């Protein structure tokens, strides 16, 4: 039996949607218990069936706009910090929140704790791959770190490969470095160094590095794991999501303002447009994962639906049942000298 | 009369499309002469009417895949280098190419030369703004520099504002800093410093800085000038273009595979889809401009159509007739101490 610690107060309409997502996941996952941390006067009345659900009172809740690190350090009675501490003390196996992303990151890094040998845990997300061998790819870091060194990116290649292999069941996941050109001397010094580290890791069979990939075509699936510094990864992810949303909005706007001809066309196309919107809905791929910490720490979108939250719990269960964290810990311990490798131009 | 030096050998099917674009522009711009540099045995037979067109033999041509800086430094007889030297020596007023972007950048910086007081010329492009006050915004740097310092970004704010004001006729262009969050302490140290420099410039009425903007919503037009380091700007631009292309492709694919219902809908929607494709076609906004050098240096896409090349010539003419470069030079000379400002955390 696995136990997931749930921040019941995180998310746009928490605790309502969180509770409903938990109940739906509970019905799907007979081997999982859920511990909900939150204001019990709000949480308890929402629960229809207490099977495999337990509750812990948390007097405080960190809001979306609160300063992440400071909040996690000082607000011991918040639902998120209490849930993270439950994981830290071995009372739960994984941490879930749909609340403040920065605070969940801080809770993951400072409370759940880094895996020994991993210098910078990172935020990982899945994106659709159109026309590749697989229908999704792993991208990290999408915003945990604003300043990265080359060896962090090498670590991301290893962490992302484990996720792609163990959870998505990709054979020898292809790792690409997000850079501003295909040649190995492209980018700033940090990206040139990261390229060399990943290349050396490839020679040692530690990662299946396929070279640089560019933001222009990552959605075509040139790599199963796209490795990026957190600043560029964040901008790229947001540009992709923002553009997809804007194009779909433009389309809808044109359809509803395009006269009777366009309206008839739109009516006929509705099922197709819904399919496309679904394909572009990041929720279908589960939550964003803090990789590099000692337990699954997973974030659903603040506006995630109950179904999306339930899907995220399924994702967490597969991280637990595949023993992902232990496998990463064992690998990192065995290859710690390789992973700590520096190259000359790094300070 | 203005004179544009044209690299006739740059572009996917050069010189054919270049010549045809030049002839179309010549018919629209009675105050412009075109000097075409290239292999005259190929170029000359394509020209229908020599009015305001002159030709200069160039024995060599830099290809798309050639190494940019080295090519510009060593291939003196290439069409691009000869055209750039004509601008350098005052024999032409502006430089156009649809060829190797890196080589055009290098030719702009090393041959045409930096404006005194501008430390890093940058590549600027226009992107569509959906639902803002204006229908396009200026974005720079989209890839001239892989490593930026904070004061470069401040300079981009000034250069981009001049372009938006003089060429697009925007009143007090709003300058936004592309960053991974709205608050002024977001980003790595360089972006925090750039924010402070732009804020100080705003206080002195040198730029109309409106704060950070995020890749998720720049297409909604929160700023008229989006300032970015070249690495992130390049990734963001490519992610936007790649995503728009992928969504449209998915849509087309779904339409042609969606059964008779979808096909009928698609038929009815054709005019609307064409409108959207047009709105997303970067060509309609003209070429990418190397800003910060002593003359208009403008790049059309390698696959630009003759109409797009002609539109780019109109863009160059407006840069010349508005006296953009002189205005920038005067401004930079008057404010050189402000623009050279450093803040403590910069080395």
- pLDDT tens column, A237-264: 999 999 988 888 877 777 777 777 777 7
Residues counted in chain B: 347
* pLDDT for position A121: 96
Instruction: Identify the bridge partners of residue B6 per DSSP, sorted by sequence position.
Output: B36, B96
Strands A53-57 and A297-299, sheet pairing: unpaired
B341 or A264, which is more confident: A264
Residue A21 has pLDDT above 90, yes or no: yes
Query: DSSP class of residue B90?
Result: T
Looking at the complex, report in whole angstroms how far the Cα of residue A128 sits from the nearest Cα belonging to chain B. Answer: 11
**Confidence class for position A343, pLDDT limits 50, 70, 90:** low
Considering the domain architecture, whether residues B128 and B271 belong to the same structural domain is answered as yes
Looking at the complex, report in whole angstroms how far the Cα of residue A341 sits from the nearest Cα belonging to chain B. Answer: 23
For residue B247, the chain A residue with the least C-alpha distance is A244
Q: Does residue A341 fall inside a structural domain?
A: no
Residue B115 has pLDDT above 80, yes or no: yes
Is omega for the bond preceding A141 within 30 degrees of 0, making it cis? yes
8 Å CB contact of B188 and A146: yes
H-type alpha helices, B167-305: 189-203, 230-256, 259-279
Percent share of chain A, pLDDT over 90: 79
* pLDDT for position A222: 95
* pLDDT for position B337: 78
Q: Which residue has the tokens 């930096």?
A: B114
Considering the domain architecture, whether residues B169 and B244 belong to the same structural domain is answered as yes
**Confidence class for position A89, pLDDT limits 50, 70, 90:** very high
Name the residue facing B243 among A189, A219, A234 (closest C-beta).
A219
- Angle of the B189-203 helix axis to the B150-166 helix axis, nearest 10: 50
Considering the domain architecture, whether residues B98 and B220 belong to the same structural domain is answered as no
- How far is A161 from A151, CA to CA, in rounded Å? 15
Q: Cα A175–A178–A183 angle (5° rounding)? A: 90
**What are the CA-CA distances from residue B99 to residues A37, B18, B343 (Å)?**
60, 10, 39
The mean of the pLDDT values for chain A is 92
Least confident of A21-25, B81-85, B117-121, B127-131: B127-131
Residue A341 has pLDDT above 70, yes or no: no
* pLDDT for position A251: 78
Residue A265 has pLDDT above 70, yes or no: yes
Considering the domain architecture, whether residues B147 and B248 belong to the same structural domain is answered as yes
* pLDDT for position A280: 66
Instruction: Identify the bridge partners of residue B289 per DSSP, sorted by sequence position.
Output: B124, B298
Q: What is the mean pLDDT of residues B136-157?
A: 95
Residue B154 has pLDDT above 70, yes or no: yes
Which tokens in the block code for residue B255? 């339409």
* pLDDT for position A248: 81
**Confidence class for position B260, pLDDT limits 50, 70, 90:** confident
Best probe of the A interface among B213, B247, B271, B301, by most A CBs < 10 A, is: B247
- How far is B194 from B200, CA to CA, in rounded Å? 10
- Angle of the A324-334 helix axis to the A150-166 helix axis, nearest 10: 140
Q: What is the mean pLDDT of residues A157-167?
A: 97
Best probe of the B interface among A142, A231, A274, by most B CBs < 10 A, is: A231
Least confident of A21-25, A277-281, B50-54: A277-281
Question: A102, A68 in Cβ contact below 8 A?
Answer: yes
Considering the domain architecture, whether residues A108 and A191 belong to the same structural domain is answered as no
* pLDDT for position B140: 97
Q: Does residue A330 fall inside a structural domain?
A: no
Looking at the complex, report in whole angstroms how far the Cα of residue B210 sits from the nearest Cα belonging to chain A. Answer: 19
- How far is A112 from A84, CA to CA, in rounded Å? 6
Name the residue facing B180 among A235, A243, A255 (closest C-beta).
A235
* pLDDT for position A262: 72
Residue B67 has pLDDT above 90, yes or no: yes
**Confidence class for position B317, pLDDT limits 50, 70, 90:** very high
Count of domains for chain A: 2
Q: Which residue has the tokens 């109409």?
A: B307
Q: Does residue A338 fall inside a structural domain?
A: no
Rg from Cα positions in chain B: 21
* pLDDT for position B347: 43
Looking at the complex, report in whole angstroms how far the Cα of residue A110 sits from the nearest Cα belonging to chain B. Answer: 20
Considering the domain architecture, whether residues A99 and A144 belong to the same structural domain is answered as no
Considering the domain architecture, whether residues A282 and A172 belong to the same structural domain is answered as yes
Which tokens in the block code for residue A49? 């069936």
The 3-class SS string of chain A reads CEEEEEECCCCCCCCHHHHHHHHHHHHHCCCEEEEEEECHHHHHHHCCCCCCEEEEECCECCCCCCCHHHHHHHCCCEHHHHHHHHHHCCCCCEEEECCCHHHHHHHHHHHHHECCCCCCCEEEEEEECCCCCCCEEEEECCCCCCCCCHHHHHHHHHHHHHHHHHCCCCCCCEEEEECCCCCCCCCCHHHHHHHHHHHHHHHCCCCEEEEEECCCCHHHCCCCEEECCHHHHHHHHHHHHHHHHHHHHHHHHHHHCCHHHHHHHHHHHHHHHHHHHHHCCHHHHCCEEEECECCCEEECCCCCCHHHHHHHHHHHHHHHHCCHHHHHHHHHHHCHHHHCCCCCCCC
Considering the domain architecture, whether residues B262 and B124 belong to the same structural domain is answered as yes
From A71, A42, A34, A74, select the one nearest A58 (Cα to Cα).
Answer: A42
Q: Cα A265–A267–A272 angle (5° rounding)? A: 90
Which tokens in the block code for residue A140? 């990290």
- How far is A311 from A284, CA to CA, in rounded Å? 8
* pLDDT for position A195: 97
Least confident of A42-46, A158-162, A268-272, A324-328: A268-272
Q: A–B: how many Cβ contacts below 8 A?
A: 171
Looking at the complex, report in whole angstroms how far the Cα of residue B128 sits from the nearest Cα belonging to chain A. Answer: 11
- How far is B135 from B198, CA to CA, in rounded Å? 24
Domain of B194, CATH number, reads: 3.40.718.10
Domain that holds residue B6: 1-115+292-323
* pLDDT for position B264: 74
Q: Does residue B124 fall inside a structural domain?
A: yes
Considering the domain architecture, whether residues B125 and B144 belong to the same structural domain is answered as yes
Considering the domain architecture, whether residues B56 and B136 belong to the same structural domain is answered as no
Q: Does residue A335 fall inside a structural domain?
A: no
- pLDDT tens column, B7-66: 999 999 999 999 999 999 999 999 999 999 999 999 999 999 999 999 999 999 999 999
Residues of A in contact with B244 (CB under 8 A): 243, 247
- pLDDT tens column, A69-86: 999 999 999 999 999 999
Q: What is the mean pLDDT of residues A88-117?
A: 97
Q: Does residue A332 fall inside a structural domain?
A: no
Considering the domain architecture, whether residues A12 and A97 belong to the same structural domain is answered as yes
Q: Does residue B143 fall inside a structural domain?
A: yes
Residues of A in contact with B250 (CB under 8 A): 130, 276, 279
CB atoms under 10 Å from CB of B27, counted, come to 12
Percent share of chain B, pLDDT over 70: 95
Percent share of chain A, pLDDT over 70: 95
Q: What is the mean pLDDT of residues B311-331?
A: 96
Name the residue facing A236 among B230, B239, B241 (closest C-beta).
B239
Report the b/e string of B97-107 with b at 16+ CB within 10 A: bbbbbbbbbbb
* pLDDT for position A347: 43
Strands A122-128 and A94-97, sheet pairing: unpaired
* pLDDT for position B268: 72
Best probe of the B interface among A178, A212, A239, by most B CBs < 10 A, is: A239
- How far is A11 from B38, CA to CA, in rounded Å? 62
8 Å CB contact of B243 and A248: no
- How far is A315 from A336, CA to CA, in rounded Å? 28
Instruction: Return the beta strands (E) in chain B as ranges.
Output: 2-7, 32-38, 53-57, 94-97, 122-128, 136-140, 174-178, 208-213, 225-227, 288-291, 297-299
* pLDDT for position B136: 93
Q: Does residue A77 fall inside a structural domain?
A: yes
Residue B344 has pLDDT above 60, yes or no: no
* pLDDT for position A256: 74
Considering the domain architecture, whether residues B20 and B160 belong to the same structural domain is answered as no
Residues of A in contact with B146 (CB under 8 A): 180, 186-188, 191
3-state secondary structure of B249: helix
- Angle of the A230-256 helix axis to the B259-279 helix axis, nearest 10: 110
* pLDDT for position A218: 94
């Amino acid at each position: 039996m696995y136990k997931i610690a749930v921040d019941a107060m995180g998310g746009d309409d928490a605790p309502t949607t969180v509770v409903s997502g938990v109940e739906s996941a509970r019905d799907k996952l007979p081997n999982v218990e859920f511990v909900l941390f939150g204001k019990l006067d709000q949480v308890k009345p929402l629960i229809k069936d207490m099977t495999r659900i337990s509750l812990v009172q948390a007097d405080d809740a960190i809001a979306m706009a609160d300063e992440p690190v400071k909040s996690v350090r000082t607000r011991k009675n918040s639902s998120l910090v209490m849930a993270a501490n439950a994981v830290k003390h071995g009372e739960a196996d994984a941490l879930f929140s749909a609340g403040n992303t920065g605070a969940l990151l801080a809770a993951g890094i400072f409370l759940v704790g880094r895996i020994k040998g991993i210098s910078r845990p990172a935020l990982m997300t899945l994106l659709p791959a159109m026309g590749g061998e697989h229908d999704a790819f792993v991208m990290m870091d999408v915003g945990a770190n604003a300043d990265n060194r080359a060896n962090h990116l090498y670590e991301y290649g290893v962490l992302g490969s484990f996720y792609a292999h163990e959870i998505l069941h990709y054979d020898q996941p292809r790792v690409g470095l997000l850079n501003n050109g295909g040649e190995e001397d492209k980018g700033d010094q940090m990206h040139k160094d990261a390229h060399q580290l990943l290349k050396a890791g490839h020679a040692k069979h530690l990662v299946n590095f396929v070279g640089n990939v560019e933001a222009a075509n990552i959605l075509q699936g040139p790599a199963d794991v796209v490795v990026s510094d957190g600043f560029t990864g964040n901008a790229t992810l947001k540009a992709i999501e923002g553009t997809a949303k804007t194009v779909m909005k433009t389309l809808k706007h044109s359809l509803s303002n395009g006269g009777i001809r366009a309206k008839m066309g739109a009516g006929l196309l509705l099922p197709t447009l819904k399919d496309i919107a679904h394909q572009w809905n990041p929720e279908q791929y589960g939550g964003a994962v803090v990789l590099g910490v000692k337990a699954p720490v997973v974030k659903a979108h603040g506006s995630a639906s109950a179904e999306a939250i339930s899907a995220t719990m399924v994702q967490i269960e597969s991280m637990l049942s595949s023993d992902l964290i232990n496998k990463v810990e064992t690998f990192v311990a065995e290859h710690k000298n390789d992973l700590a490798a520096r190259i000359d131009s790094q300070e």
